[in-house]
Amino acid sequence: MNFIKSYKKVINYKYLNVYLIYFAFFIVNGPFEKIIPLLLEYKGFNESSYGIFLSIINVIHIFLPAFVAYLTRKINPYKIAVFAMVLSLLGGFLTGATSKNSVIIFMFLIIIVLGRTIFNFSFGNSINYSLPEENRGKFFALRDLFLFGAISIGLFLGSVYISKFNIGSFYTIFSFMFIIPCILIFRSYKKTSFMKEENEEEHCKDKLNRNSINTILKDRRFWIFLIVEIATTTYATTLNFVPLLGTSLGISTSNIMTMFGAITIINSICALIIGSLSDEFGRKWVYVFDLAFDILPAAIFMVTNSVTLFIIGIVLTMIKDIFAPISFAYFFDCFEDSNGVLILGLLSSVANALSFIIPLAIGVLWSASYKYVFFIAIVGNLTASVIAALGLPNKKSSCEG
């Protein structure tokens, strides 16, 4: 009963509207992005081609997150989010309509991914600093229940559709569902605002200095998060190739989608419990555990030679995502001011600038042996865990630099 009561503060009309927007968007975007390697395989491309695609995405992400974060200061984030929905619809429709072996499909897939990035760094991040610190973990957990629940349902629907038709037409038909979040966002515009008032942003005098990027770059915590981001890039990127490991073991596309869908919905439910507990206790060590836990599934994937080991690796990889809302909340604890959105965008941009070569290397190494890739991922996540444990604060000091 106390568990249910703890979520009451993040269950009301304005939050419900946000949850529904996330649900409507990710029920389509989630499956679209998760099966990109399978789509490219269906269209006649190999692992190296997928590596090139991911590197292109990383290069674009050098500039896009920081640019969108900055743009939200000039343009209402709701308007930017509507634009993201239109992009996603066009990208999905044109992806499915593209013939096999046509390199133009890369451009349309890039549009799909960029639609999510623009949505996350505009509408998504614009609401985070309106949340009281003590409720932040609960909000992210409940938001992710809708987000991952949507991805799960989308994967189930997609697996049924693809088993009867094909993966190409799945993109074409389902892309029209982006109209729903577009309508929800448009209707919410002017009715609900999560942007902080200016007088709320001035409770610490030295927060005004964070408007300068130079000041941000002098923040020690920024550099620690950056190192962690780069160190974990190998495993994060490698996860995009994991469906190809499944097909090499003889698992069908529809079965892989069903597997991902089942585990995803379990994650989102478990995240509610973790979200409630983390708001009572510290988040730093949950964040460190989140980083370190990836070492286990990476080790399993490195030695896998059977469907059983593959499934165990997938379960562990996805189950650990129950900690994702807490890790995200911890970041906002460390940078709780109006420039946190800009810092998040800058962090993503700099990390992508330093790691864009990794997908290319993974694509080449994967063709030789995926074992090398997972070994490098293990080393990266171990390094990130140690650095985060030693360098990050146990709790936020609201006005510390």
Which residues have C-beta within 8 Å of that of residue 49, sequence separation ≥ 6? 40, 363
Q: Does residue 301 register a pLDDT over 50? A: yes
Segment 70-94 shows an average pLDDT of 91
Per-residue pLDDT, averaged over 207-228, amounts to: 74
pLDDT digits (tens, 9 = 90+) for 15-25: 888 899 999 99
Q: Do 22 and 146 touch, CB atoms closer than 8 A?
A: yes
Question: What average pLDDT does the segment 74-101 reach?
Answer: 91
Q: Is the pLDDT of residue 263 over 50?
A: yes
**pLDDT tier at 296, thresholds 50, 70, 90:** very high
Q: Is residue 335's pLDDT more than 50?
A: yes
CATH of domain 12-189+219-391: 1.20.1250.20
CB 131 within 8 A of CB 139: yes
The confidence band for 318, taking pLDDT boundaries of 50, 70 and 90, is confident
Of residues 197 and 214, more confidence is placed in 214
pLDDT tens by residue, 92-124: 999 998 887 778 999 999 999 999 999 998 888
Lowest mean pLDDT among 87-91, 141-145, 165-169, 200-204: 200-204
pLDDT of 1 above 70: no
- Mean predicted confidence (pLDDT) in 242-263: 83
Cα distances (Å, whole numbers) of residue 145 to 16, 235, 269, 273, 353: 12, 24, 6, 11, 32
**Per-residue confidence band for 161, with pLDDT thresholds at 50, 70 and 90:** very high
pLDDT band for 4, please (50, 70, 90 cuts): low
Residue 202 has pLDDT above 50, yes or no: no
The pLDDT of residue 222 is 87
Between 25-39, 184-198, 226-240, 263-277, the lowest mean confidence (pLDDT) is in 184-198
- Distance, CA of 61 to CA of 117 (rounded, Å): 8
Least trusted range by pLDDT, from 53-62, 152-161, 254-263, 310-319:
254-263
pLDDT tens digits for range 46-75: 888 888 898 899 889 888 988 888 888 788
Mean pLDDT across the chain? 82
More confident residue, 350 or 162: 162
Asked if 210 and 267 touch (Cβ cutoff 8 Å), the reply is no
Structural domain boundaries in the chain? 12-189+219-391
Residue 153's alpha-carbon distances to 45, 49, 260, in angstroms, are: 28, 29, 10
